[in-house]
Structure 1
Amino acid sequence: MTKLNTLDIINFRHIENQTVEFGKYLTVITGLNGTGKSSILGWIAQLCDYKSKDITILDTFFKEDYKNVFKFCPSNDYDKEYEVRFNYISENSFIEESKQIATRYVEKTEKSPERYRTDFDGRGKALDHPIIYMGLKRLIPLATENKITTFKSTIPSKYSITYSNLIREIFVLVNDKINPEAIKSTNKKLLAIQTDTYGHLGNSAGQDNISQIISALISFEMLKEKKGANFKGGIILIDELDSTLYAASQCKLIDILFRFARKLEIQIIFTTHSIEILEYLSPKSGNETQINYFNLVDGKVKNTINPSIEYVKRKIKNEVAQSQNIEKINFICEDEVAQYFTKNLINNSELKKIINVEKGPFPDGTIITMAESNHSIFKNVYFILDGDVKEKFKNRKVPPRTIFLPSNSRPETILYRFILNLSDEDEFWDDEKNFTKSTCFNNYTNDGKGTHKSWFVDATNKKNFGVGYSKILNRWKKDNSSEVEDFLNSIRKIM
């Protein structure tokens, strides 16, 4: 599969030396008006030039014309040369490749009209990758179009069912019988909603917008089925995703986009100003979903990656933060090691501001008893058990307000085995101080629980594990990001 990783904008209008990060499945471009968000979609569309003659469900190709994604200004653009660099993973997920794009204006001659010329790595080729670009023309209401006609689109019955089910899911339509109707107008092609009581002329702007997005999802599903093992992924680009949609539909649409992106192994990249979408996605940001916020600083665009939702809301609403006292939620761990582990896991998340982590010593049995108690003293308290306690709940219900630390072992055991398996040349070691695997595990080679605990609190090791064990915990987190995210989500789920 080919996946975009980052876009380095070296020079484009009022954007210089900024990086956009792409999620494995979803990427959000948000921020102030006039910061170049839509241009990011244009650069991606320009990067991709799919050579195959495969067609979408709307009988169009998986590519986009340059003139439809960029409009250059004679007075401000014609004397400039713009340059960006894409970094992407291509087929072999261990190999990162890059492609640099430069565009410059070509003067009008007898043989050539005035135009912009695009160079890929010095007149090389664009990326042979399928895309569907959905610009602002899709938002022009059908009622304002001068010419609307139907056209024949061969839609296999199973995809008609998919279309109908997705429309029902987003708009919560229960009784209507829904069929797709292929139509085209001056500005767009789409599958419109047809029911027993109305056809495409009765579609709302929101239904029109959603129908076009669903058409793109189905098109990639058809392409993947056709290509089989030769399918290498693809990209859907959507400008102003939230336009014409009410809040509940926006969040339902996000769920569907993520579901299809994961199933089809494609990337969906969109711009939005919707606070509802940003609030919904903020807790999910990470490797699979990236949020890029474009702000203006001294007239230049600055991109902030995965900002807090509070930051984004203040920027979008142009409000100053109000100071407030936040009453933190108490979580109780078994012991000091579990406390350090928990604090480190939540350190770079929004949970750090609202959670207070207390420690025992409490054996797991005591914590379980507290969690299962109906006494009012425990009513607003949450509990964190070591991972090795999961075994006790194979055949019984987990107590309320209770979660487990990652893995199926005690924290000391997790870290003991993780560090033991690191390379002798890993960045964790400090050869200058002779803090090596040999000195770290000196006298602790017996693989037992008592050994793990003694090793972890050993005075020499503790000194090299960082303040609050930060060095060893951060090293573990670097290789176990999915487990970290699962743990954070388990906290969010019970709060």
Structure 2
Amino acid sequence: MTKLNTLEIQNFRHIENQTIEFGKYLTIITGLNGTGKSSILGWIAQLCDYKAKDLTILDTFFKEDYKNVFKFCPENDYEKEYEVTFNYTSSGSLLEERKQIATRYAVKTEKSPERYRTDFDGRGKALDHPVIYLGLKRLIPLATENKILTFDSTISAKYSITYSNLIREIFVLINDKVNPQPVKSTNKKLLAIQTETYGHLGNSAGQDNISQIISALISFEILKDKKKEEFKGGIILIDELDSTLYAASQCKLIDVLFRYARKLDIQIIFTTHSIEILEHLNNKLGNETKVNYFNLVDGKVKNTLNPSIEYVKRKIKNEVSETAKIEKINFVCEDEVAQYFTRNLINNSDLKKIINIEKGPFADGTIVSMAESNHVILKKVYFVLDGDVKEKFKNKKTPPRTVFLPSNTRPETIFYTFVKNLSDEDEFWDDENNFTKLTCFNNYTNDGKGTHKSWFVDSINKRNFGVGYAKIINRWKKDNAYEVEAFLNDKRKIL
């Protein structure tokens, strides 16, 4: 199969030195008006000069006339040379670069005006590859044409059914029986939609547009069926793909194009400004599908390959990005002590920006029951349980969205035991103000029930434990870095 890989353009109008990359199946060219998007399709059409006499379903050749893809300006385009280099592969092997250079060409007759054309390697040598070019002429409504005729077509029943099925798929609400009606006018040939209630004159601009695109797909399907092993692929070029189509049909059309590009192993290259199409393709970007976004920087075109959909939407709408609002995840703790402990543990971590810590108080066992509940109002609530609750789940599964504070005891006991075992000369103490182990544990020398809680909230101790108990918690963290990281990782896992 022959596949276009890249197109390098030097000094063509606003394009000074840019590279366009082609997807294996779909290539999207989008961006600001006046950046040369349609010209890219013209260069590709001129690259291809299919030598065989095979005809499309509309009895036209698989090539495009120069006059239909380019109009050069005598004042700004003449007397200039543009270098356009295509890189492509054929049968899996990289071929040498094919250069397409625009040169001035004078027609030596008095009646013909001086015109412009392009040559390949200076010898008029093009790529022997089938192409169908669907330019903006296809969007001229039939109702505005002066001369419209129907003509006989040799389309078989098989492909008539294909046409009908694709029309139904893209225009989701069409229920009528659909037949293709060959029509030609001053500006185009197409298979128009014919139903039991209307014919080609009743076709909308959107139906007209889709009919021509489907005709191109069927033409390549017929060519592949005819050529069999000799078929080397082909290219369909579509300017302003989304024109005349509402959003749902745009997305349905993209699905059809991607499916047929893979089925026929052809490349489909189109321009668009449709945010709906770009969003729909966002998860398909890669080797098979590529987006080239054309922007103007200091008056020159700059191509950005596969930009984020947010970037493209801002550019197309000409809007400045708003600071993203983060909806924090709520974690509920048993009481104020657990709340302060949890907040301190997540300080200076990646979790601080996305987590909000709330507190009880809850009666004994209430928060555990909430964590185990499947009630709908608790589906988005996460829980932090004290370490002493771990024993309850020793032989059964931990509730979802639940983490345990470090150790196997309640927070007050953790700090009571930790501080009691500190050296009298530890940095934690403040001898100058006589906050020592002796004064800290005055009246709290036994380990009876409630002792640790009372000790922790004692007015003297609380004043010396720091705002939000930061001093005592930070001292504990210094000696227990492993437990801190384990707690953070448990949170990350459930998020």
SS at match of 2:163: helix
Structure 2 match to 1:63: 63
Structure 2 match to 1:145: 145
Structure 1 match to 2:94: 95
**Is the 2:29–2:271 Cα contact (8 Å) retained in structure 1?**
yes
Q: How does 1:16-55 map to 2 (within 5 A)?
A: 16-55=16-55
Give the CA deviation at 1:376.
7.7
**Is the 2:24–2:267 Cα contact (8 Å) retained in structure 1?**
yes
**Is the 1:30–1:272 Cα contact (8 Å) retained in structure 2?**
yes
**Is the 2:168–2:175 Cα contact (8 Å) retained in structure 1?**
no
Structure 2 match to 1:135: 135
TM-score, structure 2 normalization: 0.66
**Is the 2:56–2:216 Cα contact (8 Å) retained in structure 1?**
yes
Give the CA deviation at 1:379.
4.9
Q: 1:374 to 1:20 in 2, by over 3 A?
A: farther
Q: Distance in 1 between matches of 2:108 and 2:182?
A: 42
Give the CA deviation at 1:105.
1.4
**Is the 1:167–1:173 Cα contact (8 Å) retained in structure 2?**
no
Q: Distance in 1 between matches of 2:26 and 2:262?
A: 9
SS at match of 1:283: helix
Structure 2 match to 1:207: 207
Q: Distance in 2 between matches of 1:96 and 1:247?
A: 40
Q: 1:129 to 1:379 in 2, by over 3 A?
A: farther
Structure 2 match to 1:263: 263
Q: How does 1:191-340 map to 2 (within 5 A)?
A: 191-327=191-327
Q: Which residue identity is paired with 2:166?
A: L
Structure 2 match to 1:348: none
Q: 1:328 to 1:38 in 2, by over 3 A?
A: farther
Q: Distance in 1 between matches of 2:205 and 2:8?
A: 35
Give the CA deviation at 1:81.
1.1
SS at match of 2:303: strand
SS at match of 2:97: strand
Q: Distance in 2 between matches of 1:117 and 1:135?
A: 18
**Is the 1:90–1:97 Cα contact (8 Å) retained in structure 2?**
no
Confirm whether residue 166 of structure 1 aligns to residue 166 of structure 2. Answer: yes
SS at match of 1:155: coil
Aligned residue pairs, count: 347
Q: 1:49 to 1:378 in 2, by over 3 A?
A: farther
Q: Distance in 2 between matches of 1:76 and 1:89?
A: 34
TM-score, structure 1 normalization: 0.66
Q: Distance in 2 between matches of 1:142 and 1:115?
A: 30
Q: 1:222 to 1:275 in 2, by over 3 A?
A: same
Which stretches in structure 2 are left out of the alignment for 5+ residues? 331-352, 355-372, 382-399, 402-494
Q: Which residue identity is paired with 2:135?
A: G
Give the CA deviation at 1:195.
0.5
Give the CA deviation at 1:95.
2.4
Give the CA deviation at 1:123.
1.7
Confirm whether residue 13 of structure 1 aligns to residue 7 of structure 2. Answer: no
Give the CA deviation at 1:115.
2.5
Q: Distance in 2 between matches of 1:259 and 1:226?
A: 20
Q: Which residue identity is paired with 2:298?
A: D
Q: 1:245 to 1:185 in 2, by over 3 A?
A: same
Q: Distance in 2 between matches of 1:145 and 1:107?
A: 33
Q: Distance in 2 between matches of 1:249 and 1:99?
A: 37
SS at match of 1:17: strand
SS at match of 1:282: helix
Structure 2 match to 1:104: 103
Structure 1 match to 2:155: 155
49-58 or 280-289: bigger deviation: 280-289
Q: Distance in 2 between matches of 1:215 and 1:322?
A: 44
Give the CA deviation at 1:14.
1.1
Which stretches in structure 1 are left out of the alignment for 5+ residues? 331-354, 357-372, 382-399, 402-494
Give the CA deviation at 1:41.
0.2
Q: Distance in 1 between matches of 2:106 and 2:329?
A: 65
**Is the 1:2–1:89 Cα contact (8 Å) retained in structure 2?**
yes
Q: Distance in 2 between matches of 1:271 and 1:36?
A: 10
Q: Provide, for residues 153-189 of structure 1, a one-character-per-residue CA deviation record: whole Å limited to 9, x for no partner.
A: 1101010000000001111245301100000001100
Q: Distance in 2 between matches of 1:268 and 1:192?
A: 22
Q: Which residue identity is paired with 1:250?
A: Q
Q: CA RMSD in A?
A: 2.8
Q: Which residue identity is paired with 2:78?
A: Y
97-106 or 295-304: bigger deviation: 97-106
SS at match of 1:60: coil
Q: Distance in 2 between matches of 1:143 and 1:314?
A: 37
Q: How does 1:441-460 map to 2 (within 5 A)?
A: none
Q: 1:23 to 1:328 in 2, by over 3 A?
A: farther
